[in-house]
Amino acid sequence: MTKHLTEAAKACYRDYGYYTPIDVMSETKAGRLLQQFEQAEVNFPEGLGPFGRNNAHLTFMCLDEIAHHKVILNAVEDLLGSDFYLWGSVLFIKEPESDGFVSWHQDAIYMGLMPHDFVTVWLALTVSDEEAGCMRVIPGSHLSGVKTHEDTFGQHNILTRGQRIADVDQNQALDIVLRPGQASLHHPRLIHGSRPNRSGHRRVGVALQSYAASHVRQTVGVHYALAVRGRELDDSIVRLQRPQSDMASGDVVQREKVNRNYAEILYRGADQVRGY
């Protein structure tokens, strides 16, 4: 018996590597969370600036609320089963009429998690459509294995290494259009990317990257995780704590430790390292 997704939705994810949209919350609720988030940007620029986009759910209450939203967890449970954890999160913010983009890539290539029984939830806090540079996916590409990526470190490429897959048939691409409060799900091997934001508004998205089944393990670096549903994490995983308030000192220390490990994983073997 499913908790949120229909059998057709689960079949779409299985066959095409994604499912969209999930109505997580109302636009009004998403707007309130956006207001809280943007106020936090003003109050704590060191925690949410261009170099503070990773794992902000460990230090900000509004993002912790999103990470534990019942609708999100129920949808993930329908795909992964009743025991899973959250590995990390990334803020994907594109300012109005800006040049930032995401090259074609697969999440599985750089996260160091095996097996690939994990799923990314991408929640929109603002309109995410074609003009705003919404996510684009290549349906069914998750069935063809992990592809060769090349590092570009492109100036406007939002990804850590500017990693890209060169030979992508963009004629197969599908735009994932979301209103505020809606989310998409995608498989770690799904090829996806996004164009620049050419609209007059910010495009703010929260990628919960990723929720992983309890048997998934880190193959490089330290395995940090936040328990979100099901049984307790075993002793091979360093258990993270939920934040007590925005940028509480102990939470900041925890996040910094996790992000140092995160960087070692994401940049392993790279010729250079960026500040995020």
Identify the three-state secondary structure at position 30. helix
pTM: 0.96
* Paired tokens of 169: 């048939």
pLDDT at 228: 98
Domains of the chain: 7-266 (2.60.120.620)
The pLDDT tens digits along the chain (276 residues) read 678 999 999 999 999 999 999 999 999 999 999 999 999 999 999 999 878 899 999 999 999 999 999 999 999 999 999 999 999 999 999 999 999 999 999 999 999 999 999 999 999 999 999 999 999 999 999 999 999 999 899 889 999 898 999 899 999 999 999 999 999 999 999 999 999 999 999 999 999 999 999 999 999 999 999 999 998 898 999 999 999 999 999 999 999 999 999 999 989 888 888 877
Nearest-CA neighbor of 54 among 263, 202, 265, 204?
Answer: 263
Of 188, 111, 104, 112, the residue nearest 149 (C-alpha): 104
At 240, list the tokens: 């993270």
DSSP state at residue 231: S
Note the pLDDT of residue 1. 66
Report the distance separating Cα 170 and Cα 160, nearest Å.
22
Residues 44-72 as b or e (16 or more Cβ within 10 Å = b): beebbeeebbbbbbbbbbbbbebbbbebb
